[in-house]
Amino acid sequence: MFQLFLPLNFLGFVYREIKASMANIERMIDLLDEETAVADSGQDVLKVTQGKVELRDLNFGYRTERTILKGLNLILEPGKTLAVVGGSGAGKSTITKLLFRFYDPQDGGIFIDGQNIRNVPQKSLRERLGIVPQDTVLFNDTLRYNLLYARPEATEAELLEVVRMASLDGLLKLCPEGLDTLVGERGLKLSGGEKQRIAIARMLLKRPDIMVFDEATSSLDSHTERAIMGEIRRVAKGHTALIIAHRLSTIVDADQIAVLQDGEVLEQGTHADLLVRKGAYASLWQAQQSQSVIVAEQIEEGGDA
Ligand code: ATP
């Protein structure tokens, strides 16, 4: 048995090593792929004064034969939250990719405080944007490294402040070596919720002018998801923020909600406005409410058993 265990154990080790390096390699390839899609020819550094973002008449397709965004117009007002909701494949995450200029639209443009992002160096654009992605990639390094990566010159006090703001202090107390604890494949394994909190802390440390949250869907249980969304709401308040949302319950108090369907804005307004309209948003809301009741009943039944 022992003879069998040793090679299996070794194979397990090799597998974990390969998987860990793959995560970093995949990320690098992703970035390289995305980087090659546009030419970085901008000259004038982006100047963010208010943080107003305008998506004007955007037409975009990854391939010429299929248009994903069709004449899209959206405005993110300074200091306000805009939530974009819609079915799978509607084009929500594509908006984020265009904002970070991984791709350029075929027509129209994205303007930040009046400057077309096509005309500014990518570095100066991405310095002003922060994102909490759906899946956070962690480096196989310490918690400190994973956070400081956003702004290496941040002080210890600033680091601890964002840890608190992202509700990571509970995790930190459990870490034997505090911020110097190794995380990732070779260290402490973190849950989906903890990884999301690291992404939030990272973004806060960067202090971007415009925040983007691509809400995680499958990786979190509903309790953690609610907690994280509460934190996102708190963090986004008073900042120019774009939230790509899958669950409507988490964005009810957004300043504006845009419903995207097949790359077009179908409806836009506040949660209350859209319910009164009794359109697509109201139907989606109704459907998600009934679904939550069924899930709650199932949990209750499970609890009784
Ligand atoms: P979800 O809620 O499922 O994340 P979404 O609304 O964010 O969906 P997008 O990810 O923006 O949708 O995708 C819009 C469409 O573009 C989809 O049909 C998708 O398959 C396609 N798409 C996304 N990325 C690429 C890519 N790199 N190359 C080609 N097509 C893509």
Instruction: Give the whole-angstrom CA distance, residue 201 versus residue 219.
Output: 19
pTM above 0.90, yes or no: no
Q: What pLDDT is attached to residue 14?
A: 45
Q: In angstroms, what is the span from residue 68 Cα to ligand 1's centroid?
A: 8
Q: Is 263 in the pocket of ligand 1 (CB under 6 A)?
A: no
> If you average pLDDT over residues 57-86, what whole number do you get?
95
Q: How far apart are the first and last CA of the chain?
A: 40
Instruction: Give the whole-angstrom CA distance, residue 206 versus residue 150.
Output: 5
> If you average pLDDT over residues 74-78, what whole number do you get?
96
ipTM: 0.97
Confidence band of 25 (pLDDT split at 50, 70, 90): very low
pLDDT tens figures, 276-295: 999 999 998 998 887 765 55
Q: Give the residue, 17 or 266, on which the prediction is more confident.
A: 266
- pLDDT surpasses 90 at 117: yes
pLDDT tens figures, 157-190: 999 999 988 888 888 888 889 999 999 887 888 8
Mean pLDDT, rounded, of the chain: 83
Q: In angstroms, what is the span from residue 94 Cα to ligand 1's centroid?
A: 6
Q: What pLDDT is attached to residue 300?
A: 58
Q: Give the residue, 244 or 8, on which the prediction is more confident.
A: 244
**Sign of CA pseudo-dihedral 279, 281, 283, 289:** negative
Residue nearest to atom 29 of ligand 1 (CA): 62
Q: How far is CA 265 from CA 4, 135, 202, 290, in A?
A: 60, 26, 31, 25
Q: Give the residue, 216 or 224, on which the prediction is more confident.
A: 224
- Beta carbons within 8 Å of 41's beta carbon, 6+ residues apart: none
Confidence band of 20 (pLDDT split at 50, 70, 90): very low
| Atom number in ligand 1 closest to CA 91 | 11
Percent of the chain whose predicted confidence (pLDDT) is above 90:
52
